[in-house]
């Protein structure tokens, strides 16, 4: 199974530009890259574990409901996405500050032939979307006893 990676910043930086960014723009880089509202909203963090029988994806997405998620498998690419709709504004109230945002995300994973697509399961609890990707029976390692001659 392969994680589809995204690059947020250009990879081609000069050494001088990198030093200048580190020493002169540290606050801006920290603010723009980490403290923005959509840093974790655009690409939620994912843990991937593998056992003998399954792959397991744990995606950290607090504040969503299970109805918000769409999970699709097409051409061995598993796509997990979610979108929240904006809530209705109350005309009787004045908005002084708004820190809640309604956003979406989309993550894609390339699956190999060992995953049994018919048995994929997902559940959402305590802010973590858990996706189980069972391996096909014939691909599971078999134990075999070997006698010494």
3-state secondary structure of 101: coil
Higher pLDDT, 78 or 146: 78
Q: Cβ(126)–Cβ(61) under 8 Å?
A: no
Q: Which CATH number fits domain 44-85+102-139: 2.40.30.10, 3.40.50.720, 2.60.40.790, 3.40.718.10?
A: 2.60.40.790
pTM of the model: 0.61
- Which whole number is the average pLDDT over 139-145? 64
Render pLDDT for 68-97 as a digit per residue (tens, 0 to 9): 899 999 998 999 999 877 666 667 777 777
- Report CA dihedral (19, 6, 47, 137) to the nearest 10 degrees: -140
Render pLDDT for 16-70 as a digit per residue (tens, 0 to 9): 665 665 566 555 544 444 444 444 546 789 999 999 999 999 999 888 888 889 9
d(CA 131, CA 128): 10
């Amino acid at each position: 199974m392969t994680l589809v990676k995204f690059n947020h910043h250009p990879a081609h930086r000069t050494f001088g530009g990198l030093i200048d960014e580190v020493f002169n723009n540290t606050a801006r880089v920290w603010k723009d890259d980490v403290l923005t509202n959509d840093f974790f909203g655009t690409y939620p963090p994912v843990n991937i574990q593998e056992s003998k029988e399954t792959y397991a994806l744990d995606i950290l997405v607090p504040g969503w409901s299970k109805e918000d998620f769409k999970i699709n498998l097409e051409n061995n690419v598993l796509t997990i996405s979610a979108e929240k709709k904006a809530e209705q504004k109350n005309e009787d109230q004045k908005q002084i500050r708004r820190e809640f945002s309604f956003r979406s995300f989309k993550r894609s994973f390339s699956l190999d032939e060992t995953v049994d697509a018919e048995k994929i399961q997902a559940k959402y609890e305590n802010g973590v979307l858990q996706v189980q990707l069972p391996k096909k029976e014939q691909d599971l390692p078999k134990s075999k006893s070997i006698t010494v001659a």
